[in-house]
Structure 1
Amino acid sequence: MIEILDPMIHAERLAYLLRPAARYGLVDAWTSASDELAAIDPTAGPIASRYVVYPWRKTIVRLPEADTFWRLRTARNRYLLDEAEQRRWSAALVGVAGLSVGASALSVCSLTGARRFRLAEHDRLSITNLNRLSASVCDLGLPKLTIAQRRVLETDPYSELFALPDGYTPAAAADFLGTGPGDEPLTVLVEEMDDLPAKIDIRRRARAAGIPVVMATDNGDNAIVDVERFDLDRDYPIFHGLAGDLAGATGDDLADPRTRARIAQRIVGADLTPRTRFSLTEVGRSLTSWPQLGTAATVAGAAAAYAARMVATGHGLPSGRYRVDLDRAMLGPAADATDGWNELGEGDFLAAMSANSEGRQEK
């Protein structure tokens, strides 16, 4: 997607791109980078430059080489992350499957210094995605994968990206997870796919390979984070056992919408915001999919990236479910009120979901 040119080795190519007819703009960050490096390390010697070519922007950016760029880009992380944590995080191989909430998680991982990613997504950007994805109307119709790759490479052009443009599939599982002979397995997987059979399949394979899984789910303006430490316990039940025994579930079983609805309800549970409960009863009626807000997608992405970093840097984050709740932090008890027409208590929610499931079964 990009070219990284050494001015000594690629002088002819650089001159060709910088000629007026090529219509490339030049952003020269060299002087500011040199000044910043001198400020954080007065003993630093001369540094080499590179020219990064971004064809979709018709722009060439002059930057320091990879190691110096990394030092500068992570300089303000110092003390918040110690050097060992920062290096371990930057060396981690992070998988992100699904690039809706996953795109937010990916962005935060990159911002905090992660540089190595495997990505899987098959969908394209549509107008209804623009309530939660950081994208532009100019990007409509583009693969979400392309948008995510561009965002990472514009943050850190030295990032390593491996992409599956057809999304995660069982046939591509070994390549994505790194479970083939001689492959490097993922350090941590951030799983944000909508497809239930794929969510189950990838967990089965991750558990067998000892790869930890992090998932963040929107909950109104809040997020629910699930951490499954298959690296510590390969017998740990997928989805914490909330979905029941899925050991014998087949593709045909999971193709049944009644089964999918029942499993999804078990996984999510009922400890949701009153408005999320109401919205879920409308899925398949006035809503085509899970209701989502940009607030939650951002919170969920940050929380998933935090959990992934805790796992990758060796912190003792145990398996479990965690709530990241703006409503309760700011509104207190009022956050659980069910006075509005679009708010449901837990009992009413479970009754409505049961009725919906029975209705589907009758159909």
Structure 2
Amino acid sequence: MIEILHPVDDRERIEALRASPHLDFVDAWTQAAPEIAALDLLDHVDPDTPAPPPIAVTDDAAVERHSRYLVFGWRATLVRLPDADVHYRLKTARNRFLLTGREQEAWSRALIAVAGLSVGASALAACALTGARRFHIADSDELSPTNLNRVAGSVCDLGVSKVELAHRLILEGDPYSQVTTFPAGYTPQVAARFLGVDSTGPTVIIEEIDDVEMKIDMRRRARAARIPVLSATDMGEDVILDVERYDLEPDYPIFHGRGEGFAAGDAADPAQRLQMALAIVGDEVTPRMAYSAGQLGRSVISWPQLGSTAAAAGAIAATAARGIVCGRPIRSGRYRFGVEQTLLGAAGRHDGWNELGPADFTSAVEAMAQRKRPG
């Protein structure tokens, strides 16, 4: 995706690129040098990590030794950037003491696997923003106009694969990141590579796949490999977070028992697939979400989602993933983040035309299942 050039070893290539009229040039040291100088003046108080060596930012030769030149082809841009260690110090400077040095190091080394890049794209971005540097990412879709309500994208990128766009986003924030892409999405055919069965596996998985059969397939394999799985589901304005600590509880039931008991062929039947999905989701839906979900296949083409909730869901999943990596006591279970109840209270819930109560939602779901049955 990008070229990373050494200022000495690749001098001729760099000079040729600098001379090209087709490439813009950005010298990140313009901003980095004063920031490094300011950081070098601060007290070092973290008892578990050594103080980084200071950099003589007024010495051009020293700055060049700590530089790399990066070519971003899709932006037609050459960037002179601090090397991997210095860049990471700058990128994580404002994380200090919210994360200890030891936790930040663990987060940088962790391998985060993200499957499904709608809510998953928000989770991936939050992981990368806070300093994760190693990823597996999987999705088979391209960016389309209806994605733009919940995926931060550009109309200029319509038709580009979500995996490529996510890869670009990671590298533009930290070009020293290691990313393995799965552009066909998560399938049984790539499961061994995605889960690292034949090598070092992911530290944690963030699963945001639409296909319920693949959700269950991944969990069965992750449980066997003892890899924890997280999944954040946006429910109108609310977020549901599922935590399955297969690393600590290798016999923990899939989706807390909601995903057990389904046979491999069940998902071939549309009605049964709907029942599988609803068994996993449960009835923890907001009144407006209940109405929208009840309209699937009638006046709504796919699962209703709001971009604000997708962003919140991604941030919650990323926070939980980082907590697991850093050894914080995050337990298996289902967690509800009730934004509507918090902001609106009981008085904010009323019987609008676009709202359903639990009983009406159950009836709507049964009607959907009936419509999907053959004959």
TM-score (norm 1): 0.95
Q: Does 1:293 align with 2:306?
A: yes
Percent sequence identity over matched residues? 53
Judge conservation of contact 1:224–1:321 (CA < 8 Å) in 2. Answer: yes
Judge conservation of contact 2:232–2:239 (CA < 8 Å) in 1. Answer: yes
Q: Does 1:243 align with 2:255?
A: no
Judge conservation of contact 2:254–2:260 (CA < 8 Å) in 1. Answer: no
- More displaced 10-residue stretch of structure 1: 28-37 or 119-128: 28-37
The residue number in structure 2 matching 1:256 is 269
The residue number in structure 2 matching 1:345 is 357
Note the 1:27-38 alignment, pairs <5 A.
Answer: 27-38=26-37
Q: Which digits, 9 at most, give the CA deviation of each residue in 1:289-337, with x for residues without a partner?
A: 10011111101110110111111111110011111232122111134x2
Determine helix, strand or coil for the equivalent of 1:50. Answer: strand
Determine helix, strand or coil for the equivalent of 1:171. Answer: coil
Aligned partners of 1:362 and 1:4: how far apart in 2?
Answer: 56
Q: Which digits, 9 at most, give the CA deviation of each residue in 1:114-173, with x for residues without a partner?
A: 000001111000000000100000000000001100001011000000011111111111
Letter of the structure 2 residue corresponding to residue 338 of structure 1? H
Judge conservation of contact 1:338–1:345 (CA < 8 Å) in 2. Answer: no
Determine helix, strand or coil for the equivalent of 2:128. Answer: helix
Q: Which runs of 5+ in 2 are unaligned?
A: 42-52, 56-61
Could you list the structure 1 runs, at least 4 aligned residues long, displaced by more than 6 angstroms after superposition.
none
Q: Does 1:214 align with 2:230?
A: yes
Determine helix, strand or coil for the equivalent of 2:190. Answer: helix
Pairwise CA distance, 1:358: 2.5
Q: Does 1:77 align with 2:87?
A: no
Pairwise CA distance, 1:40: 1.0
What is the aligned counterpart of 1:142 among 160, 167, 170? 160
Q: Which runs of 5+ in 1 are unaligned?
A: none
Letter of the structure 2 residue corresponding to residue 359 of structure 1? R
Aligned partners of 1:158 and 1:318: how far apart in 2?
Answer: 32
Letter of the structure 2 residue corresponding to residue 189 of structure 1? I
The residue number in structure 1 matching 2:216 is 200
The residue number in structure 1 matching 2:2 is 2
The residue number in structure 2 matching 1:93 is 111
Aligned partners of 1:289 and 1:255: how far apart in 2?
Answer: 18
- More displaced 10-residue stretch of structure 1: 152-161 or 28-37: 28-37
Determine helix, strand or coil for the equivalent of 1:170. Answer: coil
Determine helix, strand or coil for the equivalent of 2:85. Answer: helix
Q: Does 1:278 align with 2:291?
A: yes
Pairwise CA distance, 1:31: 3.1
Aligned partners of 1:148 and 1:113: how far apart in 2?
Answer: 15
Q: Which digits, 9 at most, give the CA deviation of each residue in 1:70-103, with x for residues without a partner?
A: 0110000001111111111111000000111101
Aligned partners of 1:173 and 1:243: how far apart in 2?
Answer: 19
Q: Does 1:233 align with 2:249?
A: yes
| Alignment root-mean-square deviation, CA | 1.2
Letter of the structure 1 residue corresponding to residue 290 of structure 2? R
TM-score (norm 2): 0.92
